[in-house]
Structure 1
Amino acid sequence: MKTWLRLSVVAIGALIGVVAANFAQAQEPIRIGVLLPLTGPFAKNGIENWEAMQIARDMINERGGINGRKIEYVSGDATSPAAGISETERLITKEGIKITTGSFASPLAIAVSQAAERHGVFHWETTGAAEIITRRGFKHTFQVGAPARLYGQVAVDFIIEDLTKRLKKPLNELRIALLWENRAFGKSVGDGIRAYATTKNIKLVYDEGYDQFATDMTPIVQKLKDTKPDILVAISFPNDAILFQRKAKELDFNVAAFIGVSAGYSSPDLRNSIGSTVNGLFVSDFPPKVNPNVLKPEVRKVADEFYKRYEAKMKRPPAGHAAAGFSAIWALFTEVLPKAKTFQPDELRDIALKLDLPEGSLVNGSGIKFTNFDWKDNPKDAGQNLRASIGVWQWTAQGNEEVFPAKLATHEPVMVPLPDWSKR
């Protein structure tokens, strides 16, 4: 064989090999570890997030995936912080996962991100909120959802800007009580509310924590009843929220306005547990659905598709944390991964830190801009999203409606003051 012909054959063979390798890589799925509580005490909320995140995956895959590669989830059941660490390490060491996401609750998020960082894995936290998540010097953890302090600040702002008018009482005459579960999320939010209330010259008439696994709420409810607050702000998880409401009804503890914060009071199962008495309660949390006018036109289409699919699958609208889970993972699929070439943690980190998305870029009204040890409020903070949306929504007979702030609102507040138990 002549030299030129032999070289041409070799070159063609090499080219075919490169094309084949690139084609094979293009066809390989992008595998992502999803850490959520799918069993145990947090399972109801975890499954909500899981369903929302599956919808996001399906929508992306139906579009052809990311640069020709489909998304594949590998799940881990993070029932507790210890299980979160164990499951994260399993996915990384046994399954070869390089990207993790989840985790719904702050205690789980703290544990999962810790394990991911230790192994040099990129972690995209969807809804965990405790401030400590982004204040440990980690380089590959990004908290897309709002930090804990915003939950409390929005609740206080709602009292100042809206409830004072509806209750026809000046702020200095309102008796405001604070009740918080004493683990990572509740304590973090409670600390934020207390500090923010001080800046607004608000003196709390009651401020106590409790164990979220308590089985008897009688002493707590009785103390609150003796205090006679006009407004109660309560930070709870599902089981303790249900216990509290049942005991409040039994002991006839009434307030003019009740603001639950996040997990317990945003759970769709709350209505199943306490019936129509849930109507009128406010929830400071991720917006379940926002005024579409705040969304970019292309985002409205995504939102419509998400809500349509979710309601068809679950037979009800999503809670705020489910909408937040969808929003966060959708941002990963559309704003981070398409720009990646190696999918190595340092590359993904650089891409994430360059994101500069205005509010209204995500389905739940959020934007994205992460801290990077450069935030004047806390130079130790890295990976926190400063444009995450938190608002106040209200349980109604029709479902739930966003009521605050005005730009996100879908409805005016109703049932203020909140009727006594005998009239609900």
Structure 2
Amino acid sequence: MKGKSLFMGSLLSMSLAFSAGVVQAADPVTVGVAIPLSGPMALSGQNIKRSIDIAVDNINQKGGIKSLGGAPLKMIYADTTSDPSTGANVVSRMISNNRPVAIQGAYGSSITFAATGVSERQKIPFLTMSFSDDIINRGYKFVYQVVATASSMGKNQVEHTLELGKKAGAPPIQSIAVIFEDTAFGKSQADSVKKTAEAAGLKVVLFESYAPGLADAVPLVNKIVAAKAQALFINATISDSVLIIRGLRQQGDKTPIVAGGAGFLEPDFYKAIGAESEGIFVETPALAIGPLNEQYRAKYGTFMSHAGFEHAVITELIAEALEKTKSRSPTDLANALHEMTFKSGNAQYMPGGGVKFDARGANTMTYSIMAQWQNGELVPIWPQGPQTKPFLWEGKKIQ
């Protein structure tokens, strides 16, 4: 009888151990998301959250992380409130309270710069679509930038515009105005625009920064109108971009606009100004194309924002790296992100066809492209390729 009891006890212990192992293997893998869900960047943050949620659902519905026993991804969201100091604080709390395997965010480059300082000290991988060059130029080992840098975008913003003008057979642009938000991203991109324009022989007749969150855009609009530039190069949050464009149109100013990403890429930009968006050029690190974009459109009635798409790609990168490492260790994940080349899933729709991080955490495969607002949609127009469409130059369609 005693032997039987010992035997049954051993079976029970084995059963409990096996059950505990199954439960542990299926525990969710926690990923932090630090994005602006309030403040002037909130609309962009909401679009990002929607996109990540779709990507997570797709991954989990396909079985989660199979090498970890089918563990589902679980996103922990934190609101950076569009403020750098808040961004750093929420990331610190997120790491202390949730110990995520990775973090993604934080949209605004200044917020990301502050937040990644915290995650780096804790050796937690932080993946971002923020543009600023400064984010990856600090010698960090746990920061990954999936998009082209602001300086490369600024350079392409000018060069692509000049190439489009040449393609259209238009007289060369001689002078430009440059308006930019006084942030890490804004300054990096604007400095590159100015440098590239001057190297090409263009005269920069206005180079003006402003504090994001404009209450009144009239003084800035007056400066733009008075400059009489042949083209306006601008980057701004969605709320500021709407105020500036409305102000220009109200004064009858028809200066061609070449935007540098940011708010000009959001679906809500078109919702706010409608037909006034027609023909605006926008340099962008990516556009949402493929099945994921159609899935988003079916659910929300509009296209997925570039930032939402890039964060969906980031979510897939984390899942793919976790699958390979078979580990919940942030360090193992960081090593895999540096070692792997990502060309499957939605990474294949990034400009350049994929993601490969170098030692700095820069994506060496990607570059920015030029898009244009046409009939309420952002369409890719340059450089020419299988996905590009005809573009509008002074109202004329150019094939």
TM-score normalised by L of structure 1: 0.84
**1:358: Cα distance to partner?**
5.6
**1:71: Cα distance to partner?**
0.7
The DSSP-based 3-state class of the residue aligned with 2:195 is helix
**1:112: Cα distance to partner?**
1.9
Deviation per residue, 1:119-161 (Å, 9 max, x gap): 2222122x11111111122211111122112321221121221
Which residue of the partner structure matches residue 364 of structure 2? Answer: 386
| CA contact 2:148–2:363 (8 Å) conserved in 1 | yes
**1:8: Cα distance to partner?**
9.2
Which residue of the partner structure matches residue 136 of structure 2? Answer: 134
For residues 13-92 of structure 1, what are the structure 2 equivalents within 5 Å? 19-67=18-66, 68-79=70-81, 80-92=83-95
**1:167: Cα distance to partner?**
5.5
Which residue of the partner structure matches residue 210 of structure 2? Answer: 210
Give me the whole-angstrom Cα distance separating, in 1, the residues matched to 2:378 and 2:327.
43
Give me the whole-angstrom Cα distance separating, in 1, the residues matched to 2:124 and 2:347.
26
Runs of 4+ in 1 over 6 A off after TM superposition: 5-15
| CA contact 1:403–1:412 (8 Å) conserved in 2 | yes
- Partner letter of residue 344 of structure 1? S
Give me the whole-angstrom Cα distance separating, in 1, the residues matched to 2:194 and 2:13.
67
- Partner letter of residue 326 of structure 1? A
Establish whether residue 346 from structure 1 lines up as the match of residue 331 from structure 2: yes
Which residue of the partner structure matches residue 284 of structure 2? Answer: 285
Change (3 A) 1:101 1:241: same
Name the count of aligned residue pairs. Answer: 390
Ranges in structure 2 where 5+ consecutive residues have no aligned partner: none
Residue 406 (structure 1) aligned to one of 355, 365, 384:
384
For residues 226-265 of structure 1, what are the structure 2 equivalents within 5 Å? 226-255=226-255, 257-265=256-264
Which residue of the partner structure matches residue 270 of structure 1? Answer: 269
| CA contact 2:270–2:376 (8 Å) conserved in 1 | no
| CA contact 1:217–1:247 (8 Å) conserved in 2 | yes
Which residue of the partner structure matches residue 97 of structure 2? Answer: 94
Change (3 A) 1:40 1:226: closer
| CA contact 1:327–1:362 (8 Å) conserved in 2 | no
Establish whether residue 104 from structure 1 lines up as the match of residue 107 from structure 2: yes
Give me the whole-angstrom Cα distance separating, in 1, the residues matched to 2:271 and 2:176.
28
Establish whether residue 168 from structure 1 lines up as the match of residue 151 from structure 2: no
**1:45: Cα distance to partner?**
0.3
Give me the whole-angstrom Cα distance separating, in 1, the residues matched to 2:174 and 2:16.
74
The DSSP-based 3-state class of the residue aligned with 1:137 is coil
Establish whether residue 197 from structure 1 lines up as the match of residue 184 from structure 2: no
- Partner letter of residue 163 of structure 2? E
Give me the whole-angstrom Cα distance separating, in 2, the residues matched to 1:160 and 1:341.
48
The DSSP-based 3-state class of the residue aligned with 2:204 is coil
| CA contact 2:29–2:74 (8 Å) conserved in 1 | yes
The DSSP-based 3-state class of the residue aligned with 2:372 is strand
Give me the whole-angstrom Cα distance separating, in 1, the residues matched to 2:113 and 2:282.
24
Deviation per residue, 1:338-361 (Å, 9 max, x gap): 112332232112111112346984
Which stretch shows the higher mean deviation, 209-218 or 240-249?
209-218
- Partner letter of residue 324 of structure 2? K
**1:14: Cα distance to partner?**
7.6
Give me the whole-angstrom Cα distance separating, in 2, the residues matched to 1:63 and 1:26.
16
% identity of equivalent residues: 25
Change (3 A) 1:2 1:386: same
TM-score normalised by L of structure 2: 0.89
Which stretch shows the higher mean deviation, 57-66 or 26-35?
26-35
Which residue of the partner structure matches residue 364 of structure 1? Answer: 350
**1:176: Cα distance to partner?**
2.1
Task: Give me the CA root mean square deviation.
Answer: 2.6
Which residue of the partner structure matches residue 311 of structure 2? Answer: 325
Change (3 A) 1:18 1:163: farther
Change (3 A) 1:343 1:200: farther
Change (3 A) 1:33 1:361: closer
- Partner letter of residue 390 of structure 2? E
Which residue of the partner structure matches residue 340 of structure 2? Answer: 355
**1:250: Cα distance to partner?**
1.9
Give me the whole-angstrom Cα distance separating, in 1, the residues matched to 2:78 and 2:389.
38
| CA contact 2:30–2:98 (8 Å) conserved in 1 | no
The DSSP-based 3-state class of the residue aligned with 2:355 is coil
**1:10: Cα distance to partner?**
9.5
Change (3 A) 1:228 1:93: same
